[in-house]
Structure 1
Amino acid sequence: MPLVRVRQHVNPLSDKYQQPVTPPNWEKIYADLTQPLHLDIGCGKGYFVQDMAQQQPDWNFLGLEIRQPLVEYANSRREELGLTNLHYLFCNVNTSLHLLLSSLPPNTLKGVTIQFPDPWFKKRHQKRRMVQPEVVEELAKNLVSGGLVLLQSDIEAVAIEMRDRFLEHPAFTPQNDEWLPTNPLPVMTEREQSTLSRGEPVYRVLFQRQ
């Protein structure tokens, strides 16, 4: 299906996005539900997790995105490619993460990426940012010991805020003292590629669940 024109930003606090999503039947989603799961929060068009799923068939991948047309577009591509270790869900992470993660088989969530989330520059809008303490808490509850969280942004203030939210939680330990100079994953997002092609910095930090 073709991708229709989509708004770049949506307000996650609006009434439209306050209804928690109903978790799907995961056994009908993934061919092997016992495989480790990588969660990409704010997946956009979903090319990052699509490439990861193709490169790592022994993992399952789940992309969450608040813009429904992007999710529909990504799932249509997944069906065309016949990938049985990949799925995309339309949801507001701040209202649906608990239900989604608690519905998954225990001890399967082993990797999380939050990459280039909407910055919401104006101070009065910063409560709309994705990485809130409640999101960090849900990840702490559900990520396996030793599981990894990669945070990335091309806006230093946003990266600092995300980093500090995870630093405030005792379950997470940073794996680098300074910003990571390179991406530890084998795939880059489109935003990361375009940022680096302009010679601009990407601010990255990797956390491990204790």
Structure 2
Amino acid sequence: MNSTPSSSDPTPPEGAHGDAAQAHPDFGHIRSFVHRRSHITAGQQEALDLLMPKWAVPYRNAPLKFEQVFGRQAPTVLEIGFGMGETTEKIALARPDDNFLGVEVFNSGVGSMLKRIEASQLQNLRIIQHDAVEVVRDMIAPDSLAGVHIYFPDPWPKKRHHKRRLVQPPFVQLLASRLRPGGYIHCATDWEHYAHQMLEVLGGEPLLENTSEGFAPRPDFRPLTKFENRGLRLGHGVWDLIFRREGQ
């Protein structure tokens, strides 16, 4: 069973992020989420109520100043769709010299991540609860990101739904413009067809170059999730792609 939710799944699992096609009048973008009913625990709701002002950044139509958000100057990595936050927490703990800005829309995932940040006192991790495409367009300055992580986005496996997938040329073009020269985009999926689409889309962006011949080995900094481990035991494949913006 794949770890990424179908349209009937009530709650996004770890690392998954729904992406629904919703036209936006001034960008024509694919929204990075689809509204679904989801269960939220009392602990997650309490975290939302108490910890959002401490660890979250409200959406606004103005570029962020990372040094103000994190209280320091450091390379900043954007993660789109962190699910329940397990992977993001591990990466942030393993890379204390980098800042991580996680974007998620589901209350359950945001509440879970807030609990993780508070428990680990992660000073290098902040959250924005909003549509990722609008966050990138409105809040991320050009040439500012050290990296982008997109792990196990909703694959929309039915052919008629492929247009709803997040990794599409207009969004990749936008992401590439927000990377600083030498910055990277790292995608991972356990749907082979989507992996090949990602490879085609990323490879077609003039600002990006592939770091591998085709798919990349999983980098050490991306830990295996419990869903990924289960899938690998069942013989499912996982495909990583790492592209860098040209220049230094």
TM-score normalised by the chain length of structure 2: 0.71
The CA deviation at 1:108 is 4.1
The answer to whether structure 1 residue 128 and structure 2 residue 168 are counterparts is: no
Please give the alpha-carbon distance, in whole angstroms, between the structure 2 residues aligned to 1:188 and 1:155: 18
1:1-210 aligned at under 5 Å gives the runs 7-8=11-12, 12-13=20-21, 21-22=59-60, 26=66, 29-32=69-72, 34-102=73-141, 107-180=143-216, 182-190=217-225, 191-210=227-246
Please give the alpha-carbon distance, in whole angstroms, between the structure 2 residues aligned to 1:36 and 1:26: 9
Please give the alpha-carbon distance, in whole angstroms, between the structure 2 residues aligned to 1:21 and 1:53: 22
Please give the alpha-carbon distance, in whole angstroms, between the structure 1 residues aligned to 2:230 and 2:139: 31
Q: CA RMSD in A?
A: 2.8
Q: Is the 8 A contact 1:97 1:138 kept in 2?
A: yes
The CA deviation at 1:189 is 4.2
Q: Is the 8 A contact 1:31 1:85 kept in 2?
A: no
Please give the alpha-carbon distance, in whole angstroms, between the structure 2 residues aligned to 1:186 and 1:10: 23
- Secondary structure at 1:146's aligned position in 2? strand
Please give the alpha-carbon distance, in whole angstroms, between the structure 2 residues aligned to 1:54 and 1:60: 10
User: Which residue type is aligned with residue 12 of structure 1?
Assistant: A
Q: Is the 8 A contact 1:47 1:189 kept in 2?
A: no
The CA deviation at 1:107 is 4.8
**Identity fraction in percent:** 31
Please give the alpha-carbon distance, in whole angstroms, between the structure 2 residues aligned to 1:134 and 1:71: 27
The CA deviation at 1:39 is 1.5
Q: 1:85 to 1:150 in 2, by over 3 A?
A: same
Q: Is the 8 A contact 2:199 2:215 kept in 1?
A: no
The CA deviation at 1:89 is 1.9
Please give the alpha-carbon distance, in whole angstroms, between the structure 1 residues aligned to 2:178 and 2:192: 28
User: Which residue type is aligned with residue 126 of structure 2?
Assistant: H
Q: Is the 8 A contact 1:93 1:135 kept in 2?
A: no
TM-score normalised by the chain length of structure 1: 0.82
Q: How many residues align?
A: 200
Q: Is the 8 A contact 1:101 1:142 kept in 2?
A: yes
The CA deviation at 1:28 is 5.5
Please give the alpha-carbon distance, in whole angstroms, between the structure 2 residues aligned to 1:48 and 1:82: 16
Deviations 1:99-145 (A, max 9, x none): 1212xxx6541121211111111223222211122221121111111
- Secondary structure at 2:147's aligned position in 1? strand
Q: Is the 8 A contact 2:209 2:245 kept in 1?
A: yes
Please give the alpha-carbon distance, in whole angstroms, between the structure 2 residues aligned to 1:148 and 1:49: 17
Q: 1:194 to 1:188 in 2, by over 3 A?
A: farther
